[in-house]
Chain A
Amino acid sequence: MSDQAQLLPGTLDLLILKAVSLGPLHGYGVLLRIGQITSSALLIEQGALYPALFRLVRQGLLKASWGVSENNRRAKFYELTAAGRKRFREETEGWNRLTAAMAAALGATAEEL
């Protein structure tokens, strides 16, 4: 566990949008999907997921509906709305610009200046 990185503020929302963009998921499924796509490199307390999910629903980025899970249990499934897809694209681009800039900055050596 000790090599898991702390989540930067604001990144959880983006991760959720990413996870759901790959197909409708219930809450626990979102958690599993994030673990899968990040190779469990990030530390997320399970409960913290839900306030974030509800916030996204309230912002109209996700929509939710009750259904039955693969375990044959009742579960609430989330999928992206049109606004959610748009926001996901924008945030992804923003994140890429930021990481590129950060990577370039951190990779700079004395000779390049």
Chain B
Amino acid sequence: MNPIAWLRSLATRLFRGSSAARDIDEELRSHIAHRADDLVSGGMDRARAERHARIEFGGIEHYREESHTALGGDSILTLLSDVRYSLRKLRKSPGFTFAAIFTLALAIGANALVFGVVNSVVLRPVDVRNAQSLYCIDHVNDQWQSYPNYIELRDRNHSFENLAAMALSEVSFDTGKDPSRIWGFAVTGNYFDTLNVQPMLGRLFHASDERGPNSAPYIVLSYNYWHIHFQDDRNVIGRVVRINRQPYTVIGVAPREFNGTFIFFAPNFYIPLVNDESSRMSQRDNRYIIQVLGHLKPGVSRAQALADLNQIGDSLKKAYPADDLNESFTLGRPSVPSVLGRPLRAFVVALMLLAALILIAACANLGSLFAARTADRSREVALRLSLGSSRILILRQLLTEAVLISLAGGAVGLAGSVPLLNRLNLWQPFSGVPIHVPVRPDANLYLVALLLAVVSGILFGIVPIRQVLRTDPYEVVKAGTSARAGRLSLRDALVVVQIAICAVLVTSSMVAVRGLMRSMHSNFGIDPQNVMLVETDLKEAGYPLAEVEPMQRRMIDALTSIPGVEHVGLVSFAPLGRGGSWQANVFRDSARNFTAPKAAANAYMYVISPDYLRAAGTALIAGRQFTLNDDSKSPSVAIVNREFAATVLGSVSGAVGRFYRSQDGTRIQVVGVVEDGKYLTITEDQKPAFFVPALQQAPLAEQWYLVRSNRDQQQLASAIRARVRALDSTLPIDMLPWTRELDFSMFPSRMAALSLGVLGSMGAILSITGIFGMAAYSVSRRLKELGIRVALGAKRIEVLHSALGRALKLLAVGSAAGLLLGLMATRVLAFIVYQATPRDPLVLSGAVLAMALLGLLATWIPAQRALSVNPVVLLREE
């Protein structure tokens, strides 16, 4: 059944359902019966008489509808006849219909996609009961607290029903088979009770399970991890697994719908915080550890809660002046960390704006096309007006056409974006880390798409209204449809707007992509090519502290002996890796007061082995590398970067040999200066950094080995694995090429560039359809005139000029406006995309070239048509 027949039958059924309709039906039947009675009494047989009576009556369906309208009946049937008529009209011009639907599908699809992401990531709260009253305690610039401060907040606040805390935890997880490193949450005992989570299987732990450090060796598995790695085995409860070589009992499985309180991160397991590296729990200044969250008590406002918290904060500041607790508390949503939340929200808002721009461009495009169509139909409109049709009727007809197109476009766009969203939902950008983007198309999405479709349909549908209202039937019928050139019309303005918007999109996407390309090739102070990162945690693996350093030495020797390996370095955290970095306050040599406010700088600190700088490819500018002699028996030394030398020591050239002091007042001599680099993110401002020899520090169990080698990465990886296994067959290791590790820090820029690239190409496509529509229309309108010109001997260039001159002029104006706006907009972009600068000749010329090419491409077919005009055929047709 075709959709119209279906709609018709639906409407008729609805309509038949009403008593008025049944009344009408019965009356019309009664009329026909009476007429048939008369015919029978005139001598006709009954069957013929009834047939005859029906024929005499005329189109019964038509009169039924008309009767209904006369009774002021529902408008479904009138709407339906409008729809039928529109479909007939649209079917007559398939090219136009296709182009219009395609344009809208792109625009509405883009909007649906962006909204789908916004809806799931920004608007949707986490899946816990009473998510509205769930807050986490943030600082303005970060959201983490130290464990002792959490205890104070938990016990002293009057605003929260309960305060729970959680930390991210990466552990080596051993069920007896190949040990693996997995991510999960270390949480306080009251975590599940605070969030009102009930177990799917077994039990969850409670506050009563915690009785001091390492008192609760229990693990709760997430549903997904249990489903995938334990194959839904219900007997898993009570099993003992090894986490960092310690035995833990599986006591339960969390429900399927509960995946922690982060949107982007689904934990594989939950273990009690008291059992997770409890040493770091006791340090008050070890702040970057846990997120504190809870439900506000009923009746307590945000402001009251904040006042309550900051009062506790003030007393903490007084009690522990050495801590840099100088930031006040704020309340945030736990789902998206506020640190991430602000740029994310900015990014999402930017995307929404761009998507909206695309929709506006599409509407402008279709508006001008519709206006053109209406102009072509002015004769028909005039005829209908003079035949007594009302203007309202004609407008309704045009609007129906527009809305039909936009609904079709919306449906196609949605059909395209929903699978994309579903793919995004399954996408895991980083292997091994359970980070994902949980987008689920829901009713909101469909509603918004429908709304967008209807609104944009009405938007471009009303463009020709003035035209219809102004139509003077007499004038039009008398004069025919002659091209009216000259003044700048609304249509021209729409075309310029549309092209300008497309040019903005094209320009900004070029800026973004170019910025990304540059940032990929800029100098990070390291050379990540041909370096394999090997991460181990000897403490997790059960090594006593005294054996850590000898084991590391053995590892370095083993890795160095792999053929083809040039350097092996050891570092606390790989720069631009996902581990983060340590920061330390450093003081001038003259300093006597070692509190945080007096620090000369807060610098990144790296603990390295002698060969690290060579393995990392960090260039030494002055001084020397570390040697094995820089150990605990020799004076403390450091290598600093240029920024450190300039800000803390006063100059780069005189830095070697000078001293600075660490937090505990130790004098440290600078023995070398290295080039500046990027450490945490590629977009950060230049930060001071310093490197200290591992042998002068307490042994670090968690270390990254950098293995530099020209060998094939796969071969290298298996060689490394073999060497490590030979030393310790149960030591879990993580291996990743450094370039892949950089993906983490590149991720935001990449995403931004990708989205902008996609939106930019959509802009390009839209500008093609827009320019094409305009050029094709202007050629077809003036075909006759062109024919005459050709007949009179005009040159090709003159024909082209008269056919497309106006189109090209509009194109140029629109592009110029768009380029200017685009360059202005990219100032904003520079915040997201590293090294996005509009003052880049390549981008400028690229954008100009792109718009020119697009224009050329889009006008090619109309130009060919103009040139191939055959005056004889054309004039004969008229």
Contacts of A50 in B (CB 8 A): 24, 27-28, 31, 63, 66-67, 70
B34 interface neighbour in A51, A54, A73, Cβ under 8 Å = A73
Interface size on A, as a range, is 20 to 34
User: Which segment of A40-48, A86-94, A103-111 sits at the interface?
Assistant: A40-48
Contacts of A74 in B (CB 8 A): 26, 30
Please, which residue of chain A has its CB at the minimum distance from the CB of B68? A54
Q: Please, could you name 12 A-B residue pairs with CB atoms under 8 Å apart, sorted by A?
A: A27-B27, A27-B30, A28-B35, A45-B58, A47-B57, A48-B58, A51-B63, A51-B67, A69-B34, A74-B26, A75-B27, A75-B34
In the complex, per-residue mask of B272-299: 1 if CB is within 8 Å of any chain A CB, else 0: 0000000000000000000000000000
Cα distance, A46 to B26, chains bound together (Å): 15
B31 interface neighbour in A28, A52, A54, A55, Cβ under 8 Å = A28
Please, which residue of chain B has its CB at the minimum distance from the CB of A29? B34
B27 interface neighbour in A31, A58, A76, Cβ under 8 Å = A76
* Contact yes or no, A52 B70, CB < 8 A: yes
Among B23, B71, B72, the one with the most A-chain Cβ atoms within 10 Å of its Cβ is B71
* Contact yes or no, B70 A51, CB < 8 A: yes
Contacts of B72 in A (CB 8 A): 58
Please, which residue of chain A has its CB at the minimum distance from the CB of B28? A50
Please, which residue of chain A has its CB at the minimum distance from the CB of B60? A47
Contacts of B66 in A (CB 8 A): 50-51
Interface assignment of B212: CB less than 8 Å from any CB of chain A: no
Interface assignment of B155: CB less than 8 Å from any CB of chain A: no
Interface assignment of B633: CB less than 8 Å from any CB of chain A: no
Chain A interface main SS type: helix
Contacts of B56 in A (CB 8 A): 46
B35 interface neighbour in A46, A51, A58, A76, Cβ under 8 Å = A46
Cα distance, A58 to B69, chains bound together (Å): 11
Cα distance, A24 to B27, chains bound together (Å): 16
Interface assignment of B62: CB less than 8 Å from any CB of chain A: yes
- B: residues with CB less than 8 A from A are 23-24, 26-28, 30-31, 33-35, 37, 56-60, 62-63, 66-67, 69-72
Nearest chain A CB to B43 CB, angstrom units: 17
Cα distance, A55 to B60, chains bound together (Å): 17
Nearest chain B CB to A1 CB, angstrom units: 12
Given A50-B70, A75-B34, 11 more A-B residue pairs with CB atoms under 8 Å apart are A26-B34, A27-B27, A28-B34, A46-B31, A47-B57, A54-B67, A69-B30, A71-B33, A73-B33, A73-B34, A74-B26
A-B CB proximity, top 3 nearest: A47-B63, A47-B58, A54-B70
Interface assignment of A57: CB less than 8 Å from any CB of chain B: yes
Contacts of B63 in A (CB 8 A): 47-48, 50-51
Nearest chain A CB to B69 CB, angstrom units: 7
Nearest chain A CB to B536 CB, angstrom units: 88
Nearest chain A CB to B40 CB, angstrom units: 10
Contacts of B28 in A (CB 8 A): 47, 50
* Contact yes or no, B30 A47, CB < 8 A: no
B37 interface neighbour in A47, A58, A71, Cβ under 8 Å = A71
Nearest chain A CB to B339 CB, angstrom units: 67
* Contact yes or no, B71 A27, CB < 8 A: no
Cα distance, A52 to B59, chains bound together (Å): 15
Contacts of A52 in B (CB 8 A): 70
A47 interface neighbour in B23, B33, B62, B69, Cβ under 8 Å = B62
Instruction: Give the residues from 1 to 60 in chain A that come closer than 8 angstroms, CB to CB, to chain B.
Output: 26-29, 31, 45-48, 50-52, 54-55, 57-58
Nearest chain A CB to B151 CB, angstrom units: 79
Contacts of B62 in A (CB 8 A): 47
Contacts of A75 in B (CB 8 A): 27, 30, 34
Nearest chain A CB to B19 CB, angstrom units: 12
* Contact yes or no, B57 A55, CB < 8 A: no
Nearest chain B CB to A34 CB, angstrom units: 14
Among A51, A52, A74, the one with the most B-chain Cβ atoms within 10 Å of its Cβ is A51
* Contact yes or no, A58 B34, CB < 8 A: no
Nearest chain A CB to B530 CB, angstrom units: 86
Among A45, A47, A52, the one with the most B-chain Cβ atoms within 10 Å of its Cβ is A47
Nearest chain B CB to A43 CB, angstrom units: 12
Contacts of B70 in A (CB 8 A): 50-52, 54-55, 58
Nearest chain B CB to A51 CB, angstrom units: 4
* Contact yes or no, B58 A28, CB < 8 A: no
Cα distance, A56 to B60, chains bound together (Å): 20
Instruction: Give the residues from 56 to 72 in chain A that come closer than 8 angstroms, CB to CB, to chain B.
Output: 57-58, 69, 71
Contacts of A71 in B (CB 8 A): 33-34, 37
* Contact yes or no, B57 A46, CB < 8 A: yes
Nearest chain B CB to A65 CB, angstrom units: 11
Nearest chain B CB to A76 CB, angstrom units: 5
Cα distance, A29 to B58, chains bound together (Å): 17
Cα distance, A27 to B62, chains bound together (Å): 17
Nearest chain B CB to A64 CB, angstrom units: 9
Please, which residue of chain A has its CB at the minimum distance from the CB of B26? A74
Cα distance, A58 to B20, chains bound together (Å): 12
Among A26, A52, A71, the one with the most B-chain Cβ atoms within 10 Å of its Cβ is A71
Cα distance, A67 to B713, chains bound together (Å): 96
Cα distance, A27 to B27, chains bound together (Å): 8
Contacts of B26 in A (CB 8 A): 74
* Contact yes or no, A76 B30, CB < 8 A: yes
Please, which residue of chain A has its CB at the minimum distance from the CB of B23? A76
* Contact yes or no, B69 A28, CB < 8 A: no
Cα distance, A47 to B57, chains bound together (Å): 5
Cα distance, A45 to B58, chains bound together (Å): 7
Cα distance, A63 to B70, chains bound together (Å): 15
Contacts of B57 in A (CB 8 A): 45-47
Among A28, A45, A76, the one with the most B-chain Cβ atoms within 10 Å of its Cβ is A28
* Contact yes or no, A73 B30, CB < 8 A: yes
Please, which residue of chain B has its CB at the minimum distance from the CB of A57? B71
Nearest chain A CB to B25 CB, angstrom units: 11
Contacts of A31 in B (CB 8 A): 31
Known A-B contacts A54-B71, A57-B71; A47 and B34 likewise in contact (beta carbons under 8 Å):
no
Cα distance, A29 to B38, chains bound together (Å): 11
In the complex, per-residue mask of A77-92: 1 if CB is within 8 Å of any chain B CB, else 0: 0000000000000000
Please, which residue of chain B has its CB at the minimum distance from the CB of A56? B70
Please, which residue of chain B has its CB at the minimum distance from the CB of A32? B38
* Contact yes or no, A58 B71, CB < 8 A: yes
Cα distance, A26 to B71, chains bound together (Å): 17
* Contact yes or no, A51 B27, CB < 8 A: no
Nearest chain A CB to B26 CB, angstrom units: 7
Cα distance, A45 to B37, chains bound together (Å): 18
Nearest chain A CB to B65 CB, angstrom units: 9
Cα distance, A14 to B27, chains bound together (Å): 21
Please, which residue of chain A has its CB at the minimum distance from the CB of B53? A46
Contacts of B30 in A (CB 8 A): 26-28, 69, 73-76
Cα distance, A36 to B30, chains bound together (Å): 20
Contacts of A26 in B (CB 8 A): 30, 34
Nearest chain B CB to A44 CB, angstrom units: 10
* Contact yes or no, B59 A47, CB < 8 A: yes
Please, which residue of chain B has its CB at the minimum distance from the CB of A49? B31
Cα distance, A46 to B27, chains bound together (Å): 13
Contacts of A48 in B (CB 8 A): 58, 63
Nearest chain B CB to A73 CB, angstrom units: 6
